[in-house]
Chain A
Amino acid sequence: MKIKLIMNLLTISILLSTPLTGCLGPADNEGNDSSESLGKLRILTYDVFAISDEMIAEFENRTNYDVELIKVDDAGSVLARALQTKDDPIADVIIGIDNSFLQIALDYDLFAPYDTSVIPNLHPEASSSYTGNLVAPYDWGRVCINYDTTYVDGENVTVPESLWDFTSENWTGKVVVQNPRTSSPGRSFLLATVDYFANDADDSTDFSDWWSAMNNNGVIVTDGWTEAYETHYSGGYGQWYDGFIGDANAVVSYCHSPGVEAYFGDNWTTSVALTLDRSSFLQVEYVGIAKGTSQSAGAQEFIAEMLNHGVQSSISLTNYMYPAAANYTLPSENGYLYHTGVPNQDSSLTPAEIGAGIDEWLNQWDSAMA
C-alpha cells in the first residue's frame, strides 16, 4: 500500500514537473493542420493589454508562427532586459519602449530596420518624436496632471495656473506622482517639468527646485501608476474599489484619463486634465525588430499586426491610449473624447535631448526628493 502511495506521488510530481509550455502555444494546431509552423516568434513586452490572447491566436493562425511572450514588469524592464541580452537577443520583437527611453535603445543599437511600407498613415503626434525605420509607434498619449473638481471648486481652491501653485498650502499632501525610476508616466512627467521650468519666466529656478518644494509640501510618490491613481486619487475610479484612500486631489496620469473615467461613468466624471503649456509630455510607445534576430520576417509581420485594424481600432479601450494610425482616434461614446484634455503646447524635448540629459535629471530628482 505504501508503495502504491509512493508511486502515485511520483506520478503526480512528474506530471507537475513537466513544464507546461504556455497556454498560448497550441492555438495554431486547431485551424489549419496542413500548414507547417514557421517557428517560434519571441516577443519581449510588458503588460501591453492590446496584445490579447485572441489577437495572438488570430496572428498565429494566419501566419503560422508560434508566439512566445516574454513579459516583464514595465517599460523600463523591457529596455533593461533587451540591453542585458543584446549580444544574444532573447526576443525577436521588442514592444513597449517609449520616446523617453528610445534614445538609449538607439544608442545601444537594439533594433534592426523594418519595412516602413507596412505602416498606415499616422497621427502627427505618433510620428512627432521619431520618424526613422528602426521602431514603429503603435500608440501614444499625453502625461499630465489630473485634478478633482470637487476639490478644485473655483472658490476655495482655484484651478492652478502654474505648477508652482501645487507647492502652496492648498495642495499640501494632496498631490500624488510616480517615481520616475520605476514608472513611465512618472518618468514622462519628470521630463515635462524639466522643459516646463527651463522655459518659464523665472530663470533662477529649475525643475529640481520645484521638486524640492513639492517634497517639502508632502507630495506622495508611488512606485507605479495604479497605486497613485486607484488608491490615492480622489477623482478616479478608485473610489469604487477596496483599499481606496483618496487623500490626493491631483495625480500624474494621462490627459485622456478623465475621458476614460467618463467612458466608464456614463459621461460623468469630476476629474479634469490640467493642460498648462509645456506641463504635459507626449509619450509615444514603439515596437521594433530586435537586432540579431533570425525571425525578421515574422517580426515584420508582428509590427504590421500591431498597426492593423484590429489592434488600432481597439487600443483606446485595451491599452487606454490613442491609436497611432490616423484612421482611428479615441471613441466619442460616453464622452471619452470630450473629457480628454488637449494642451496647446506639449513639452518639447527630443529623444536625443532626453538621452543626453536623463541620467543627470534623474540624479537631480533623487537628491531633490531625498
Chain B
Amino acid sequence: MRKVVFHTIPAVLVILLVIAPFIIALIRLSEASEVGIFEAFSNLDNRYQTSGAIGFTLKLSAISTLATVAFGLPLAWWMGRYHWPGHRLIRALLTTPFVVPSMVATIGFISLLGPQSWLSETFNLQLWHTMTAIVIAHTWYNVALVVRLVEPAIARLDPSLEESARLLPQGNKAWKRAWRLWWPVIRLNLAAAATLTFVFSFTSFALVRHLGGPGMYNMERAMAERPFTGIIGVGAVDSEIVLAFGIIQLVILASALWLLTEFQRRGKTWLPLATEKSTRLPLVNAQIPKLLMSLAILAAIAPLYFTIIGSFSIAGNFSTQAWYNAFSTNSEFTLLQPLLNTLRFATLTVLIAIPLAWLSANSVATLEKQEGWSSRYARVLDVMVMAPFALSAVMVGYGILIGLSHISNSLLLVWWLPLLAHLIIALPFAMRVILPAMRSLDPSYLEAARTLGASPFTVLFKVHLPLLRGPLIVAAILAFAVSLGEFGATWLLWNTPDWTTLPVLIDRAYSRPYDPLARSIAHVAASLLLITTLTLFITAERFRMAGQEGEF
C-alpha cells in the first residue's frame, strides 16, 4: 500500500502542476472565444498575424531543420571520425550554443548581423528582419544537437565492422561503406536530432520576435502578443486565436515527440559499440575538415563574442558606463535585483525539479519492468512528465495565467508564479537525463545493498544517489540553465518588478524609448547570463558518464 502511494506522488504532482492548469486554461479559452473551434481554425486565415502563420511556422522549422542537418552532419562526422587536438574543448565550443539562453542569442545575432554590425557593414549584407536571419540563428543553436547525438555513434562503432566491410565487395568503396554501414549507424540518431531541431524551431519565440521583425509571425509569436486572452467578452478574438494555435501546436509537437521516442528507442538496442571509448583516427592530411572546423568554431562563438563586446559600447562609443550602472545599487538600471531574481528562480527550479524528476524516473524505471497495469501506469507517467515538451513556453504561460487565475486571483501575484512555469519547462529536461541513467543502472547494486542489511533510506543515500551522481549533476545544471534562460512564459506572466529576470529585462530594455544606455544594459545582462551559463555548461561536461554523450 505504501508503495502505491509512493508511486502515485509524482503523477499527482505532475497533474496538479502541468495538466490541470492547462486543461482549465483550454476550457476557459473555449468559453471566452465566441466561435466554435472549427470556425476558429478557418478564421485564422483572414486575420493579420495569423494568416500564413501556420505555413510560416512549418516552413521556418523545416528549413531550419534542413540547414541544421546540412551543417551539423559534416561536423559530427569529423568530430567522430578524427582525433582533434583539444577534442573536448572543440566539442564544448560547438555544443555550447544549445544551452545559451534564447535572449542572449537574440542579442548576439542582432549585434552580429543587425544594421551597423560588423557583418552588415563589411559585406553589405542586410539580414536583419529576414527569415534567413532566423534560420541562421536556429542552425547555430541546433547544430549542437546533431554533434551531441551523432558524434558518439560514429566515434564508438566497433572498428572491426568497418575493417570487415572494406574486405567485402559491398564495402570496398567509401561511398558503399557510407551507404551500407555508416548511414544505418547514424540514421536514427540523426533523425532524433532533426526531430528535436524541428521542435525547438517550431516554438521559437525570442528569436522570431527580435530577429524576424515586423510582419514575421510564427504561431508562438502570434499567440504570445494577445493581452486579452481568456477574458470573457473583450478577449473573444485573442482567445479564439490562442485556442486554435494551441491545439495545432499540441498536435504537431506531440507527434514530433512520439517520433523522437520511437527513433531513440529503436536507436538504442542494436548498435554494437566498441569496448574501448573511442576509435577515432589521427588527424592527418585533412585540410578541408581542418579549415571548415575552424570556421564552424568561429561561427559558434561569434554571436557570444559580439554580445560581450556590445556591453562595452554606448551608441557606438567605448564605455564601461553600462557595467558600472548595472552594479551600482542606486542606478535605475541596476541589474543586481534581476540577477538575484534569476538566480533565485533557477535555484528553486533545481531544488524542486530534480527530486520530482527523480521520483518520477524512479517510479517509471521500477514499474515498467513489472506486469500488467503497473507497467502501463509507468508508461502513462513517462508521457505525462514529458508532456511539457509538447507545450510551447507561451502555452505553459497561458496555462498558468488563465488556468490558475481561474482558481483564485490572488494566485496571479504570488511570488512563485514564474517558478511554476520554470519547473514545468525544466522538468522534462531533467527527466530525460535521469531516466535513461536510472534505466541503465544495474538493479543488482540496489539489491546487493539490501541483502547487506541496508534500509531503503540507506540504499538511496549511500548507493542509488552516489551511483547516479553524474547524471544528477548534469540534470541539475540543465534545469538551472533552462530556468536561467526561460523567456516566453516569464515574459507572459510578468506582473511585478520583483519577477524581472535577466531575459525579461533584456526584452524590456529593448523596448524602452529615448535611452541609449538601455541597449548597452541589455548587452550587460546578456553577458551575465552568458557567463553563468558557460560556467555551468563546462562544469556539466565533467560529470557526464561514459556512454551518456548521446543525451542532451
Residues of A within 8 A of B (CB): 12-13, 16-17, 19-23, 47, 53, 68-74, 76-77, 79-81, 83-85, 87-90, 104, 108, 176, 179, 181-182, 220-227, 229-230, 232, 237, 240-245, 260, 264, 320, 359, 362-363, 365-370
Please provide the 3 A-B residue pairs with the shortest distance between their CB atoms, ordered closest to farther: A369-B48, A370-B51, A366-B47
- CB-based nearest B residue for A77: B227
> Contacts A90-B413, A182-B227, A221-B215 known; A241 to B519 CB distance under 8 Å?
yes
Q: Is the beta-carbon distance between B228 and A80 smaller than 8 angstroms?
A: yes
- Tell me, rounded to whole Å, the shortest Cβ–Cβ distance linking B548 to chain A: 23
Question: Which residue from chain B places its CB closest to the CB of A80 in the assembled complex?
Answer: B227
Tell me what chain B mostly uses at the interface: helix, strand, loop, or mixed: loop
CA gap between A243 and B227 in the complex, in Å: 27
- Max chain A CB contacts within 10 Å: which of B51, B230, B238, B497? B497
Residues of B within 8 Å of A182, CB to CB, are: 225, 227
The answer to whether B337 touches A243 (Cβ under 8 A) is no
Assembly CA distance A264 to B236 (angstroms) = 42
Interchain CB contact under 8 A, A90 and B344:
no
Residues of B within 8 A of A362 (CB): 237
B539 → A minimal CB distance (Å): 14
- Contact A90 B337, CB 8 Å, known A242-B316, A370-B46: no
What 1/0 mask marks residues of chain B from 340 to 382 whose CB sits below 8 Å from any chain A CB?
A: 1101100110010000000000000000000000000000000
Complex contact A90–B410 (CB within 8 A): yes
Q: Which residues of A contact B447 (CB under 8 A)?
A: none
Q: Provide the B97-116 mask, 1 if CB < 8 A to any CB of A, else 0.
A: 00000000000001100111
B111 touches A242 (CB 8 A): yes
Q: Report the separation of the CA atoms of residues A96 and B415 in the bound assembly, to the nearest whole angstrom.
A: 24
CB-based contact A243/B115 at 8 Å: yes
Counting chain A CB atoms within 10 Å of each CB, the highest count among B231, B340, B415 belongs to: B231
* Contact residues in A for B262 (Cβ distance below 8 Å): none
CA distance A20 to B50 in the complex (A): 40
Q: Looking at the complex, which one of B50, B114, B228 makes contact with A243 (CB distance below 8 Å)?
A: B114
Q: List 13 A-B contacts (CB under 8 A).
A: A23-B337, A72-B227, A80-B235, A90-B412, A221-B215, A222-B213, A223-B214, A225-B513, A226-B512, A242-B519, A359-B237, A366-B49, A367-B46
Question: What's the Cα separation between A244 and B126 when bound, in Å?
Answer: 12
Query: Is the beta-carbon distance between B228 and A370 smaller than 8 angstroms?
Result: no
Asked if B233 lies at the interface with its beta carbon under 8 angstroms from chain A, I say: yes
Alpha-carbon separation in the docked complex, A368 to B497 (Å): 37
Residues of B within 8 A of A227 (CB): 213-214, 511
The chain B residue with its CB closest to the CB of A317 is B514
Contact (Cβ within 8 A) A181 B226: yes
Do A69 and B511 touch (CB < 8 A)?
Answer: no
Partner-A contacts on B (CB < 8 A): 45-51, 110-111, 114-116, 128-129, 209, 213-215, 225-231, 233-238, 310, 313, 315-316, 332, 337, 340-341, 343-344, 347-348, 351, 405, 408-410, 412-413, 415, 494-498, 508, 510-514, 516, 519
Do A76 and B227 form a contact, CB below 8 Å, given A90-B409, A362-B237? yes
Complexed CA–CA distance, A19 and B230 (Å): 29
A240, closest chain B residue (CB): B315
For the complex, give the distance between the alpha carbons of A74 and B226 in Å: 11
Contact A84 B405 (CB under 8 A): yes
Q: Check if A243 sits within 8 Å of B315, measured CB to CB.
A: no
Give A217 Cβ to nearest chain B Cβ, in Å: 13
Give Cα distance in the complex from A83 to B230, angstroms: 10
Q: Which of B231, B344, B348, B412 contacts A83 (CB 8 A)?
A: B231
- Let me know if A16 and B343 touch, CB within 8 A: yes
CB neighbours (8 Å) of B129 from chain A are 245
- Known contacts: A17-B348, A222-B214. The answer to whether A73 contacts B513 by CB under 8 A is no
Does the CB pair A74–B115 fall under 8 Å?
no
Give the distance in Å from the alpha carbon of A74 to the alpha carbon of B497 in the complex.
14
Q: Within 8 Å CB of B228, what residues of A?
A: 76, 79-80, 83
A327 to B514 alpha-carbon distance, docked (Å): 26
Nearest A residue to B510, CB-CB: A226
15 A-B pairs besides A83-B234, A224-B511 with CB distance below 8 A are: A13-B348, A16-B348, A20-B341, A73-B494, A81-B412, A89-B409, A90-B410, A176-B214, A179-B225, A182-B227, A226-B510, A242-B114, A243-B116, A245-B115, A367-B48
Cβ-defined contact, B227 with A70, below 8 A: no
Give bound CA distance, A302 to B234, whole Å.
Answer: 28
Asked whether A85 and B344 contact (CB < 8 A) given A70-B496, A363-B237, A365-B48, the answer is no
Q: Does B351 lie within 8 Å of A13, measured CB to CB?
A: yes
| Inter-chain contact A71/B497, CB cutoff 8 Å | yes
Give the Cβ gap from B351 to chain A, nearest Cβ, in Å. Answer: 6
A354 CA to B415 CA, complexed, in Å: 37
CB-CB < 8 A to A84: which residues of B? 230-231, 405, 409, 412
Smallest Cβ distance from B532 to chain A, in angstroms? 13
Cβ–Cβ < 8 Å partners of B214 in chain A: 176, 220-223, 227, 232
Q: Judging by beta carbons under 8 Å apart, are B409 and A87 in contact?
A: yes
Contacts of A83 in B (CB 8 A): 228, 231, 233-234
B347 & A13 in contact (Cβ 8 Å cutoff): yes
Residues of B contacting A89 in the complex (Cβ-Cβ under 8 angstroms): 409
How many Å from the CB of A266 to the closest CB on chain B? 15
When C-beta atoms are compared, the residue in chain B nearest to A72 turns out to be: B495
Which among B47, B116, B236, B494 has the greatest number of chain A C-beta atoms within 10 A? B47
Given the known interface contacts A85-B409, A242-B114, A242-B116, the answer about A73 and B233 at a Cβ–Cβ threshold of 8 Å is no
